[in-house]
């Protein structure tokens, strides 16, 4: 990783050299004016040329200073890019997959009539719906027993589903707390985005649980309502059988040794 702080001492030294170079022409011109020659032959010193050279060096130092500042900015940009590309160290994927698998297992354990279109059609064809008026008492009793078992199983499945979803609440709360904390302390854009994606995944899993609970409760209610409707059809069939019976016909009965 590029350390931006390491460039600052060089930067400070170059600035100091630039300031010194800028003050040299003034100091040298004052020194030449106040110094008297010790001999008859005087060395010629071109102060303007020297000052120009010093100013050229100062400008070059300033250019180097600008390049160093540019490199500092680029290093800072690279550091920020590295932070934005850092992955989030926290993941709740395994926990979410475990909760989803638990809900799927509860759905697959539906008793008697599963969450399957074909099974539902077969069950309503054979057990629910209209009842023929010629059905025997044994057939009616067997049908009522099957419907009762289906209704009880549906209510049991609904309670199991609700219990399974409620058991996920503590783990969901823990995952949500961890993800929110990770999002707030994210060092870059990638970590913040990954934390947000995991929060959305948690919300989607909770929505799936809600759908499963609603479906299980609706299934239990539908079975109970279908049982009630079929019971009414059985009552009509029994009444039809009773209404077709012939009236009472008196007969002679022999009792007590023919007397």
Identify which of 29-43, 57-71, 126-140 has the greatest average pLDDT. Answer: 57-71
Query: Which of 19, 10, 27 is CA-nearest to residue 58?
Result: 19
**For residue 182, pLDDT beyond 60:** yes
Rounded CA-CA distance 78/66 in Å is 18
**pLDDT for 17 beyond 80:** no
- In sequence order, the 6+-apart residues with CB closer than 8 A to the CB of 48 are none
Rounded Cα distance, 114 and 123, in Å? 10
Cα gap 44→229, rounded to integer Å: 125
Residue 177, φ and ψ in degrees, nearest 5:
-65, -45
Angle subtended by helix axes 169-184 and 93-108, to nearest 10: 160
Count of residues making up the chain: 259
Q: Could you read off the pLDDT of 193-202 as tens digits, one per residue?
A: 999 999 999 9
């Amino acid at each position: 990783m590029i350390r931006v702080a390491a460039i600052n001492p060089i930067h400070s030294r170059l600035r100091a050299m630039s300031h010194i170079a800028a003050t040299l022409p003034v100091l040298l011109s004052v020194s030449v004016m106040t110094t008297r020659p010790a001999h008859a032959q005087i060395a010629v010193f071109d102060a303007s040329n020297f000052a120009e050279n010093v100013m050229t060096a100062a400008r070059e130092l300033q250019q180097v200073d600008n390049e160093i500042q540019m490199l500092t900015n680029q290093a800072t940009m690279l550091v920020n890019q590295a932070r934005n590309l850092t992955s989030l160290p926290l993941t709740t994927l395994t926990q979410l997959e475990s909760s989803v698998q638990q809900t799927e297992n509860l759905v697959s354990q539906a008793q008697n009539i599963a969450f399957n279109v074909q099974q539902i059609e077969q069950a309503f064809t054979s057990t629910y719906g209209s009842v023929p008026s010629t059905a025997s008492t044994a057939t009616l009793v067997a049908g009522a027993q099957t419907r009762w078992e289906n209704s009880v199983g549906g209510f049991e499945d609904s309670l199991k589903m609700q219990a399974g979803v409620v058991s996920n609440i503590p783990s969901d709360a823990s995952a949500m707390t961890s993800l929110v904390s990770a999002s707030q302390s994210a060092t870059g854009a990638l970590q913040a985005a990954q934390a947000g994606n995991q929060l959305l995944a948690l919300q989607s899993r909770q929505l799936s649980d809600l759908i499963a609970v609603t479906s299980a409760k609706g299934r239990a209610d539908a079975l109970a309502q279908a049982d009630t409707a079929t019971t009414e059809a059985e009552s009509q069939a029994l009444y039809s059988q009773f209404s077709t019976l012939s009236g009472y016909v008196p007969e002679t009965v022999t009792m007590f040794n023919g007397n």
